[in-house]
């Protein structure tokens, strides 16, 4: 694979695992995020695992001025351009209740920031006639729940955005995979009570790569979350509004 991939939010353990798999297939990688020391370490890891090249690039979903330099650098690469989006933030709902201004950041990190970036990347992909976008959403975006409905709403917005982007890029040979992970064993979920059926980041990354190859549209990972969410979505609203799940 001589493809170029940009990984937004590359310091997350899911992104790390996905980048490693791409590295072992010989891809060129752009690892984007805020912790540059950590991104440099991951770039070294990817190169040592067989990536054609790996660059650490500064990216902040809340600072659109960080987008253009990355896109310019990527534009110089040959072959198809691809992107995987792992950014997002999930403050406690209680903190948001106390300070509603936190909503803006959550929506920017999980939806509008990456959407703005992809909006700039899309014409470049169209010009080259292909490429894949992997957008990591969440099962939390399937239905608003009392525990994290702001995060859920941001992810739901992102899902809808990805669906539209898929509709657009298909016309030029591109593809978009929407990923809805259930509970994944990451730093974000470490030590949180009430986790069950927890998947490893490596397992999720394997599912993502398979979905890219098979050009899947929307996947749940692990797969059984499709059925769990089917049930959760089918609960009638008059009942659902009284539940606390």
Partner 1 sequence: MRWKTESYTGWGRALTATGDIARPERASALAALMKDSPAPAIGNCRSYGDACLNDDGRVVDMTRMDRVLSFDEKTGLIEVEAGLQVSEISRLYAPQGWLPAVMPGTGFATVGGCIANDVHGKNHHGLGSFGQHVTQIVLNQNGKEVTITPKNAGLWKATIGGLGQTGIIARATLQMIACKGDVMLVTERRVDGWDEFLSVLDDSQATYTVGWIDATAKGDALGRGILEEGETGAGLLPKQKASKKVPFNAPHFALSKPIVKAFNNAYYRRVPDSGRTSVKPINDFFFPLDRIHDWNKLYGKRGFHQFQCVVPIAKAPALREMLEMIAKSGLASPLAVLKRMGPGRAGYLSFPMEGYTLAVDFPNRSAAQLLISKLEEMTEEAGGRLYLAKDALARPNRMKAMYPEWKDWLKVVKKADPEGALETDMTRRLELRSA
Q: SS3 for 5?
A: strand
Q: At what angle do helices 67-75 and 113-128 cross, to 10 degrees?
A: 20
CB of 174 to partner 1, least distance (A): 31
CB of 186 to partner 1, least distance (A): 8
Where does this chain touch partner 1 (CB under 8 A) — which range of 36-44, 59-67, 149-157, 217-225? 36-44
Among 76, 94, 98, 192, binds partner 1 (CB under 8 A): 192
Tokens representing 56 are 């650490």
Closest of 178, 173, 85 to residue 127, by C-alpha: 173
Among 49, 62, 116, 128, binds partner 1 (CB under 8 A): 49
Residue 200 DSSP class: P
Where does this chain touch partner 1 (CB under 8 A) — which range of 34-42, 122-130, 163-171, 173-181? 34-42
Segment 159-188, which members bind partner 1 (CB under 8 A)?
186-187
Q: Which is nearer to partner 1, 42 or 112 (CB)?
A: 42
**What CA–CA distance (Å, rounded) separates 146 from 243?**
9
Among 37, 76, 94, 239, binds partner 1 (CB under 8 A): 37
Among 1, 21, 41, 168, binds partner 1 (CB under 8 A): 41
Among 10, 22, 29, 42, binds partner 1 (CB under 8 A): 42
Q: Assess 36 for contact with partner 1 (CB under 8 A).
A: no
Q: Assess 196 for contact with partner 1 (CB under 8 A).
A: no
71 alpha-carbon distance from chain centroid = 18
**What CA–CA distance (Å, rounded) separates 175 from 132?**
5
Distances, alpha carbon 200 to alpha carbons 21, 98, 158, 179, 189, in Å: 14, 33, 23, 15, 11
Among 1, 21, 25, 45, binds partner 1 (CB under 8 A): 45
Tokens representing 52 are 């054609």
Q: SS3 for 48?
A: helix
- Tell me which residues touch partner 1 (CB under 8 A): 11, 13, 16, 35, 37-38, 41-42, 44-45, 48-49, 186-187, 190-192
């Amino acid at each position: 694979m001589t493809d170029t991939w940009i990984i937004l939010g590359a310091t997350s353990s899911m992104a790390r695992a996905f980048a490693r798999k791409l590295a072992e297939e010989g891809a060129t990688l752009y690892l984007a995020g805020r912790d540059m020391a950590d991104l440099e370490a991951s770039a070294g890891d990817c190169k040592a695992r067989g990536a054609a090249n790996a660059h650490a690039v500064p990216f902040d979903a809340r600072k659109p001025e960080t987008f253009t330099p990355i896109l310019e650098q990527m534009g110089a690469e040959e072959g198809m351009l691809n992107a995987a989006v792992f950014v997002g933030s999930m403050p406690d709902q209680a903190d948001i209740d106390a300070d509603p201004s936190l909503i803006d950041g959550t929506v920017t990190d999980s939806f509008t920031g990456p959407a703005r970036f992809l909006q700039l990347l899309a014409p470049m992909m169209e010009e080259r006639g292909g490429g894949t976008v992997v957008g990591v959403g969440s099962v939390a975006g399937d239905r608003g729940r009392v525990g994290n409905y702001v995060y859920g709403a941001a992810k739901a917005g992102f899902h809808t955005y990805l669906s539209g982007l898929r509709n657009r890029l298909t016309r030029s040979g591109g593809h978009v995979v929407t990923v809805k992970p259930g509970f994944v064993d990451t730093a974000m979920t470490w030590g949180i009570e009430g986790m069950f059926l927890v998947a490893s980041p490596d397992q999720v990354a394997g599912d993502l790569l398979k979905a890219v190859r098979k050009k899947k549209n929307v996947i749940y990972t692990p797969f059984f979350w499709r059925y769990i969410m089917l049930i959760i979505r089918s609960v009638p609203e008059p009942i659902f509004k009284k539940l606390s799940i």
